[in-house]
Amino acid sequence: MDIITEGHLYQNTLLTFTEAAQLMNLDPNVFERLKRPKRSIIVSVPTRMDDGSVKVFTGYRVQHSSTLGPCKGGIRYHESVNLSEVAALAMLMTFKCSLVGLPLGGAKGGVQVNATKLSRAEKQRLTRRYTSEISPFIGPEKDIPAPDIGTDSQTMAWLMDTYSQEVGHAVPGVVTGKPIEIGGSLGRNTSTGRGAVFVVEEALNHLKMKQDKSIRVVVQGFGEVGASAAQCSYDLGLSVVAVSDVSGGIYNSKGLNINQVKDYYSKNKTLKGYPEAEAVTNEALLELPCEVLIPSAVDGVINSKNASKISAKIISEGANGPVTHDAHQILIERGIFVIPDFLANAGGVIVSYFEWVQDLQNFFWSEKEINSRLREIMTTTFKNVLQQSQAQKIDLRKAAMVTAVKRVSTAMLLRGLYPQ
């Protein structure tokens, strides 16, 4: 085992890919090529801190595959960032883009840093230096970054500006998730959470469950993904009974008013102390009685230790890899309907694709049009994966992976290997 394959997220992703490869009798040469990323970049990111000292952080950019088109994937700033995690997420991005039919490959990046301890000026200096280090490998026709954990639209604005300064002209298409004023897309901020709820709607229809207050929803994470998933569930008329952030969760069995929760969070920067709910831990939140669970925080939160205690009937994976491979098997055996991450949270990359297209055309769409196109792709993909699952009598994760790998494999075989 080497530095790329040693992480648990990479191992989980590789296991799912291997199972799909066996199910579809994947060409062994294609299998060997897709097991590892095309390119892995490790950079030093020296950054001047506010006290005048220089700290050197480690940055990464991994490009897993560009067979279907330019690479696409977020950049995260977090202490846990390492090469193996980034490589796993890049692989997932390849399959995610393939699954939903985008002409894009998979990439991911990050810097190992606690972004919450950086001042705005420090974060800007770190972002600009990191961008400068990876700039030879990114671009609107090469690799298009986006926000992830610890980064946001402002981070992308700095990245776009740095790249544009180096090439000598404005290049809005080098990143997605930018502010609207400099080429960002309407609907991008809520797209991942919205997409996760679109597939919940489809799952409820498939399982013949009503879409009303009798459906209790629990959302772990209250960042961009979790907050929008909670809001969309609430707007749909479902009962959102619990949400959480890093400080812990809040629970009200009668349902939360998500508009009021968002207002409280905006003012206090935490859910802790919200008056109309009881406090629960993030661990206990996952086991609360509910029909729908949307884990939207970090990976590995549902594992072999707590999988048997999950009460939800539907799990929509808003985060990347929130359910471990072992836990997934337990959930499936218990009859829980698990919508895998690279389908459930594909809304973000779909609207990122829309943003990229709008930037290249210099022609922008309305939010209504964007949300309509997002729903169409999410629901069509869900139905295709469900059909594959029923036809082969396999779970949705395997069905989604088979569908995704098939498209990448076909493209790879058509393009061939260079040089021969």
The range of the structural domain enclosing residue 288 comes to 191-335
Is the domain of 88 the same as that of 214? no
Task: Return the SS3 of 249.
Answer: strand
Query: Is 409 inside a domain boundary?
Result: no
pLDDT at 1: 58
pLDDT at 299: 82
Q: How many domains does the chain have?
A: 2
Residues 213 and 108 both lie in one domain? no
Domain endpoint, select from 116, 140, 170: 170
CA distance 63 to 136: 13
What's the rounded Cα separation, in Å, for the pair 59 and 112?
6
Question: Do 130 and 34 fall within a single domain?
Answer: yes
- In a shared domain, residues 127 and 225: no
Name the amino acid, one letter, at 357.
V
Q: Is residue 212 part of a domain?
A: yes
Do 26 and 151 belong to one domain?
Answer: yes
Q: What is the pLDDT of residue 409?
A: 97
Q: Do 195 and 125 share a structural domain?
A: no
- Asked if 26 and 117 sit in the same domain, the reply is yes
Cβ-based neighbour number of residue 6 at 10 Å:
12
Q: How far is CA 72 from the centre of its chain?
A: 12
In a domain, 50, yes or no: yes
Instruction: Look at the block and give the residue holding tokens 């090439």.
Output: 167
Residue finishing a domain among 140, 170, 200: 170
Catalytic residue among 38, 108, 178, 313: 108
Query: Distance between CA 56 and CA 78 in Å, rounded?
Result: 15
Whether 138 and 209 share a structural domain: no
Q: How far apart are CA 40 and CA 21, in angstroms?
A: 23
CATH number at residue 236: 3.40.50.720
Contact between 63 and 42 under an 8 Å Cβ cutoff? The reply is no
Catalytic residue list contains 108: yes
- Are residues 29 and 82 both part of a single domain? yes
Within a domain: 391: no
Do the domain assignments include residue 360? no
Is residue 137 domain-shared with residue 200, that is, in the same domain?
no
343 domain-assigned:
no
Instruction: Confirm whether 322 is domain-assigned.
Output: yes
List of E strands, 224-335: 239-245, 248-251, 278-280, 292-295, 314-316
The gap from C-alpha 106 to its chain's centroid, in whole angstroms, comes to 12
Question: For the chain, percent helix, then strand, then coil, each to nearest 5?
Answer: 50, 20, 35
Verify that 225 and 120 share a domain, yes or no. no
Other beta carbons within 10 Å of 391 = 9
**Contact predicate 318/302, CB 8 Å:** no
List the CATH number of the domain containing 142: 3.40.50.10860
Does any domain span residue 282? Answer: yes
pLDDT mean by block of 10 residues, the chain; 420 residues: 82 91 95 96 98 98 98 96 95 96 98 96 98 98 95 97 98 97 94 96 96 95 94 96 93 96 94 92 94 91 94 95 92 96 94 97 96 97 96 94 96 93
Whether residues 151 and 14 fall in one domain: yes
Boundary (domain end) residue, out of 136, 170, 204: 170
